[in-house]
Amino acid sequence: MLIRKAPQIKSSEITSEADYLDRRSFLAKAGLAAAGLAGASPVIAAVASDPGASGRVLENVSESPLSLDEAPNSWRDVTTYNNFYEFGTGKEDPSRYAGSLVTRPWQVKVSGECDQPGDYNLEDILSPHALEERVYRLRCVEAWSMVIPWVGFPLADLLKRFQPNSDARFVRFRTLYDPGQMPGQRRRILDWPYVEGLTIEEAMNPLAFMAVGVYGRELPNQNGAPMRLVVPWKYGFKSIKTINAIHFTRTRPRTSWEASAPREYGFYANVNPNVDHPRWSQASERIIGSGLFAPRRKTEMFNGYAEQVAHLYQGLDLRRNF
Amino acid sequence: MATRSRSLTCTRAWICAETFSMPAFGSKGFTRLIKTLLWPLCLAPLLWLGLGAFELLGFNLGANPVEKLLHELGKWGLKFLLLTLAITPLRYWTGWHWLVTFRRLLGLFAFFYLFLHFLVYIVLDRYLDFSGLLEDIVERPYITLGMTGLLLLLPLALTSTRGWMRRLGRRWKKLHRLVYASAILGVWHFYWQVKLDTLEATVYALILAALLLARIVHSRRKAARIQVRSETLLPEDSGGAPLRR
Ligand code: HEM
């Protein structure tokens, strides 16, 4: 289970982060105990549910101390307001057209700088991991946000199984390319297939998450079934959906949005209220589901996760590396 | 009771009159009838958005109602603007000069929808944060374009009455050519705010280009005709006379 530490991270920072997490989980446990739930299998009861939800229920999902303590958006918001250009550029297109995607059987190709490359069946990818719920805020680059109760497992736990070597400085992820199943790919608005990437330090951060479900159920196709990334301190487009390839590399991957408009979308894409998109402000965001007459919310640095991730960018000019 | 039955017979009589003596194509009665039908048609998008905004009769505006409202009002405003611009080319193509009677109505509806578009932006989207609004207008080129486009429509809406038409005479026509500038700015504004998929904005841009082209072709032909006429020594030219309404 040991992973080579990336050279940039100072061990002191790792320690402080671990302390931080311990504190959070301690608080969470204390809270449960105080509510008289400890020991009474509180775990499953705590997972978010919605009367409108559908799809296979995921069993044995535990709570996470990393979850936001906020009411999530409705199932309807989460599953009908999506950016997934593989199924069309309208927000409701994915919920309309993603039915054509077939997610079983599913294989993920693992390659590059690692000791366990290969073509893995989805079942083999998922089986060793205990599922947990992570309630995160998703902040889209279009200046809106939602709170979503994802179900999945830490990305680091998955990546460590492939034993990345010391040359693995970046991880590249790829979405399925199949215009037959993904009608949006028949138009070349992006250079398909969709590609995203993280530094290995970002990928190993405890917040980085591989989601296989939402609201205690299997992911609907429009949300990126069968598995998708969730990187809550970055703009939503970093959280690549419907992943079928993972590649460890020495060089920084060229991501789809960066390739399509390098002036507007960078590799890092960290949520940052102080660095505007060239065409619109990022200082505030509209909260999806808040209705017609609600004010905007002030956007937080790193989407509110600065304490956990700011250390990853020490010394980096975030204005230039947007 | 008596009133009710009387109104019923009146309505019936009115309907019979209308159906049995359908006004002749292009006549005054005919344009009045079309205008009566046009009003509810022009208000239909507003009704639909209003029902959606208040979630009545099963309508709704989806997960992001402010964005939906903003975008739909912008697109309806632009549609009305293009329809207004289409009247003159259509008149020349079809010879249906009575079409001009609807131009003012369509133009005012364009202004109405775009003004609502602007209101939704400052009230519901920006939440009346005027400092942010000023910053937006100055710093975001697509907002600058939209704002200019709307401001250009303002004098046109104000001088759209018969009185102003008479008062301004030939200058009225000149002034109202601003509508072309406004439409160009509006389409440009639309194009600029799109994140990636410019297909829809391109369709609007092509329609506008076609309308402008039709206009240019027409005025070239007219100029040529005037020249021919002056060469055949007609004493006075009436090419620039105001349109009969
Ligand atoms: C001639 C005047 C105008 C026209 C024709 C126009 C038309 C449009 C159209 C067609 C859209 C895009 C709808 C879509 O993407 O589906 C739009 C978006 C927008 N317009 Fe306008 N507009 C005008 C004036 C204005 C003004 C005065 C403002 C505010 C000061 C404004 C603010 C906006 C904003 C904020 C958006 C949405 C941008 C986004 O979602 O990122 N517009 N407009």
Q: Where are the domains of chain A?
A: 11-313
Residue A295 CB neighbour total at 10 angstroms: 14
Q: What is the pTM of this model?
A: 0.84
Return the SS3 of B149. Answer: helix
- pLDDT for residue B29: 87
Question: Which residue of chain B comes nearest to A75, CA vs CA?
Answer: B63
- pLDDT for residue A246: 98
- Whether B215 has its CB under 8 Å from any CB of chain A: the answer is no
Is 70 exceeded by the pLDDT of residue A312?
A: yes
Interface of B with A in 96-125 (CB under 8 A): 124-125
Residue of the nearest CA to atom 29 in ligand 1? B118
Task: Write out the two tokens for B88.
Answer: 């003159």
- Whether A15 has its CB under 8 Å from any CB of chain B: the answer is no
- pLDDT for residue A16: 42
Question: Is A80's CB within 8 Å of B63's CB?
Answer: yes
Pocket of ligand 1 contains residue B114 by CB under 6 Å: yes
Closest in B63, B69, B196 to A288, CB measured = B63
Q: Nearest-CA neighbor of A164 among A211, A238, A110, A120?
A: A110
Rounded to the nearest integer, the mean pLDDT of chain A is 88
**For the CA of B204, the nearest atom of ligand 1:** 10
Residue A267 in contact with residue A321, Cβ under 8 Å? yes
Residue B57 CB neighbour total at 10 angstroms: 8
Mutating to test ligand 1, I would choose from B64, B67, B70 the residue with most ligand atoms within 8 A of its C-beta, which is: B70
Question: Is A279's CB within 8 Å of B125's CB?
Answer: no
Mutating to test ligand 1, I would choose from B66, B71, B72, B200 the residue with most ligand atoms within 8 A of its C-beta, which is: B71
Q: What is the 3-state secondary structure (H, E, C) of A264-294?
A: CCCCCCECCCCCCCCCCCCCEEEECCCCCCC
Residue A244 in contact with residue A194, Cβ under 8 Å? no
Provide the strand spans (E) within A80-143: 107-112, 118-121, 132-140
Find where tokens 């998703």 sit.
A138
pLDDT, one tens digit per residue, over A39-64 is 444 444 568 999 899 999 999 999 99
Closest in A261, A279, A286 to B64, CB measured = A286
Pocket of ligand 1 contains residue B146 by CB under 6 Å: yes
CA angle centred on A205, ends A203 and A209, rounded to 5°: 70
Alpha-carbon distance of A38 to B120, in angstroms, equals 49
Question: Is A89's CB within 8 Å of B65's CB?
Answer: no
Pocket of ligand 1 contains residue B148 by CB under 6 Å: no
Residue A223 in contact with residue A78, Cβ under 8 Å? yes
Domain A11-313, second-level architecture? Alpha-Beta Complex (3.90)
Amino acid at A73: N
Beta bridge partners of A57: A217
- pLDDT for residue A162: 98
pLDDT, one tens digit per residue, over A164-195 is 999 999 999 999 999 999 999 999 999 999 99
Sort A146 into a burial class: Cβ within 10 Å, 0-12 / 13-18 / 19+: buried
Question: Strands A209-214 and A144-154: what pairing?
Answer: antiparallel
- Range name among A19-33, B76-90, B174-188 with the lowest pLDDT average: A19-33
- pLDDT for residue B228: 78
pLDDT, one tens digit per residue, over A230-244 is 999 999 999 999 999
- pLDDT for residue B245: 39
- pLDDT for residue B244: 41
- pLDDT for residue B11: 52
Interface predicted TM-score of the whole assembly (ipTM), two decimals: 0.80
Residue of the nearest CA to atom 33 in ligand 1? B143
Residue of the nearest CA to atom 16 in ligand 1? B71
Find where tokens 């990928």 sit.
A203
pLDDT, one tens digit per residue, over A190-216 is 999 999 999 999 999 999 999 999 999
Question: Strands A107-112 and A217-218: what pairing?
Answer: unpaired
Question: Which residue of chain B comes nearest to A144, CA vs CA?
Answer: B64
